Amino acid sequence: MIYSVSINGVLTDPKQASVSIFDHGFLFGDSVYEVVRTIHGRIFAFEPHIDRLFSSAQQIGLEIPWSREDLRKDVVALLKHSQLEEEAYVRLILTRGVGELNIDPSSCRAPQIILIAKALPRLPASAYTDGIVLSLVNTKRNSKHATNPGIKSGNYLNNVLALMEARKNKALEAVMLNENGFITECTTSNVFLVKDSKILTPSLECGLLAGVTRKLVLSRARAEGLTVEEGFFKPEDLVAVDEAFITSTTRDVVPVSRIDDRSLGVVPGPVTKRVAALYQDEVKKHLDKDCPLPHLAEKTQ
């Protein structure tokens, strides 16, 4: 994999790119991050992602010493430098910075912003035609009263454990419950269920990341008159569903063919198919408003 990196706005050879072992992001997972992508030479939905980065930082009491515009410029510069012609994945990582070897963040004077770009990793095309397998795992999503899952923090260990469990169960993604037994989300995606043509997804109250894709899917589905419910769902609800799908920035809308032992019917089901098409239309509408990246402008016209 070819990577491009910038650290605090300075383009850096990925082989030389490093952070201090005293950065609290490394020591304690004291960091926040975002993942954005490009589509047809444009950075897709940069604003909501950057808003979420600022919100995550604010919720861990970390002041970002860069403006939204600074960050956009840095991402554009990195993408230009990367020479990537295909769609790109860009990770923005904001760490607490270098401090003393104890958890107290007050010794950390300067946050670091690290940007990493690579070609967008894609699921095989069969995932979209045949669906993927989910597993309901024992590892619980963090309580929203602990490290709130609404914060996209650099501490994903809980999700790492959940994914390991899913992989043991031969599933691509893990469905996690909260401590009260309600379904929350997957390790790096949001989850949706369909029952009697109604689209169901866990309420943000359950403790989960407010996905950018989730929000676009929900608002467009509502605008089209589809019935949508953000609610509280238990594992027994999974038994009765007709369809399921997951959403994320890097994967869009992906149908689910099986949840552990329970195979779903037609995949993708009619509602999932409709939602996936509506989402693609929504993406197109957004892209029409966005400027192409200057270095790709000619190619995308």
Shortest approach of ligand PDD to residue 89 CB, angstroms? 8
One residue of 95, 112, 135, 190 binding ligand PDD per CB under 6 A: 190
Of 186, 154, 193, the closest CA to residue 250 belongs to: 186
To which H or E segment does residue 14 belong? none
Residues 37 to 76 in contact with ligand PDD, rule: CB under 6 A: none
* Shortest Cβ 14–ligand PDD spacing (Å): 19
Query: Does residue 249 touch ligand PDD according to CB under 6 A?
Result: yes
Is the Cβ of residue 112 or residue 201 nearer to ligand PDD in the bound state?
Answer: 201
Instruction: Name the residue nearer to ligand PDD (CB basis): 27 or 36.
Output: 36
- All residues at 6 or more sequence positions from 254 whose CB lies less than 8 Å from its CB, including other chains: 123, 127, 128, 131, 132, 189, 245, 246, 247
| C-alpha triplet 213, 128, 198: angle, nearest 5° | 60
Smallest gap, in angstroms, from Cβ of residue 294 to ligand PDD?
A: 25
For residue 64, the minimal CB distance to ligand PDD (Å) is 18
Select the span of 11-19, 125-133, 206-214, 293-301 touching ligand PDD (CB under 6 A): 206-214
For residue 194, the cross-strand partners are 199, 243
Residue holding tokens 């009491």?
A: 61
Among 51, 227, 250, 260, binds ligand PDD (CB under 6 A): 250
Q: How far is the CB of 139 from ligand PDD (least distance, A)?
A: 13
**Site membership for ligand PDD, residue 134 (CB under 6 A):** no
Beta bridge partners of 112: 95
Cα gap 30→116, rounded to integer Å: 18
The type of residue at 12 is T
Contact by Cβ (8 Å): 192, 221 = no
Binding residues (CB under 6 A) for ligand PDD: these are 35, 185, 188-190, 209, 211-214, 247-250
